[in-house]
Chains A and B, each alone.
Chain A
């Protein structure tokens, strides 16, 4: 497949994974050599992300208005940062210098990584926070794949990178040996890649209360802070935020 055969319609299908495997692979192959095509893919993904985030925060409905008043937007700043990152993509079309690793980022369906490459705060070490608040296997799989891709990309490029994974709500379940199918995978990330995994102490307390027994998390997980504390602090320190 040549770049001329890749229409905008086809790129839409590509980013939504609606093409068959052969066509997906062919486009991946063309992306390796074509910077303009990578930009087009990046733009489309950014549009998709922006639409997603445009309604992350909506006016509370009448039903939840009272509750929302008191607990509004614990993660609003995190969402805000995410939107900003995507806007960064939009701002950076013309100036962004693509590296070979950018292709991996596209392969990983990871718009944010482009931005992480672009708007770094610390040129000696990239610092990324991955937030998982769901136990849905699709979300968790996607998040862990994202983490693997990030680690592999930076390792390949020989760039230092610190990755913290913060879990809360149902997300803490991925760190429970009694229920999680991801324990081995997480343990390897901790042991081999130096990834720090946090389980929100408030979510743990809540789970303890609901289940009536003390829930047990795998060794190596940090449990002495709440997600509410960790995320804003890291954002202030310039970490790049990715919401699973």
Chain B
């Protein structure tokens, strides 16, 4: 009976992991800006999570636990490739068809480019906070640093981004805004 219970629990957890795959992929993508690599990282994280499912004591912390595994996979990758690895931006095959979407895409690209300019440690923190919506405490647990370090990295990341994104005030974007929100 215990075996059956364990099997059911394992199957249930596996479903929970799978349901979060897309989120893991997106977070990985926000770090590496490479779809194939992000896919591999998410896959590896899910694989490790399934393998180590018994170590998850509290299902309520499943997200943080998974993100931590993903983060470790990402750190392993960086270690193998060397810390100064340079990423080549991979372009999406599904480019928006309409000019409006294309302009929108350019804005998103610009924001991503600004994020890409950040040192990796700042990028990791700002995407975990502002994209994944995690608390400082959760981020500290995931990347294994004191909460004060999270605060200071997030502060520096946002200052940097703010400066870069203020350049958005170009005429082109102003025209775009006026056209889109009439």
Instruction: Give chain A's interface residues, CB within 8 Å of chain B.
Output: 8-9, 12-13, 16, 18, 43-44, 46-55, 57-64, 68-69, 72, 76-77, 80-81, 83-85, 87-88, 90-91, 93, 119, 121, 238, 240
Return the chain A residue nearest B27 by Cβ: A55
Q: How far is the CB of B75 from chain A (nearest CB, A)?
A: 20
Q: How large is the interface on B (under 10, 10 to 19, 20 to 34, 35 or more residues)?
A: 35 or more
- Tell me which of A46, A61, A90 contacts B25 (CB under 8 A): A61
Q: Known contacts being A13-B151, A59-B92, is A52 close to B177, with CB within 8 Å?
A: no
Q: Is the CB of B158 within 8 A of A47?
A: yes
Return the chain A residue nearest B98 by Cβ: A77
Q: How far is the CB of B25 from chain A (nearest CB, A)?
A: 5
Return the chain B residue nearest A83 by Cβ: B107
Q: Is the CB of A80 within 8 A of B177?
A: no
Q: Is the CB of A48 within 8 A of B130?
A: yes
A88-B180 Cα distance, complex, nearest whole Å: 10
Return the chain B residue nearest A139 by Cβ: B133
Q: Which 8 pairs of residues, A with B, have the shortest CB-CB distance? A: A51-B130, A59-B92, A54-B111, A80-B104, A59-B35, A119-B181, A61-B39, A90-B168
Q: Is the CB of B111 within 8 A of A69?
A: no
Q: How far is the CB of A61 from chain B (nearest CB, A)?
A: 4
- Tell me which of B96, B131, B152, B165 contacts A47 (CB under 8 A): B165
Return the chain B residue nearest A43 by Cβ: B162
- List, in ascending order, chain B residues with CB within 8 A of A119's CB: 177, 181
- List, in ascending order, chain B residues with CB within 8 A of A69's CB: 94
A80-B107 Cα distance, complex, nearest whole Å: 9
Q: Is the CB of A85 within 8 A of B181?
A: yes
Q: Is the CB of A87 within 8 A of B115?
A: no
- List, in ascending order, chain B residues with CB within 8 A of A90's CB: 165-166, 168-169
- List, in ascending order, chain B residues with CB within 8 A of A85's CB: 181
A51-B108 Cα distance, complex, nearest whole Å: 9
- List, in ascending order, chain B residues with CB within 8 A of A46's CB: 165
Q: How far is the CB of B39 from chain A (nearest CB, A)?
A: 4
Q: Known contacts being A47-B158, A84-B107, A88-B181, is A18 close to B112, with CB within 8 Å?
A: no
Q: Is the CB of B181 within 8 A of A91?
A: no
- List, in ascending order, chain B residues with CB within 8 A of A59's CB: 29, 35, 90, 92-94
Q: Is the CB of B30 within 8 A of A55?
A: yes
Q: Known contacts being A48-B130, A55-B127, A84-B181, is A9 close to B155, with CB within 8 Å?
A: yes
Q: Known contacts being A51-B131, A72-B94, A84-B177, is A12 close to B151, with CB within 8 Å?
A: yes
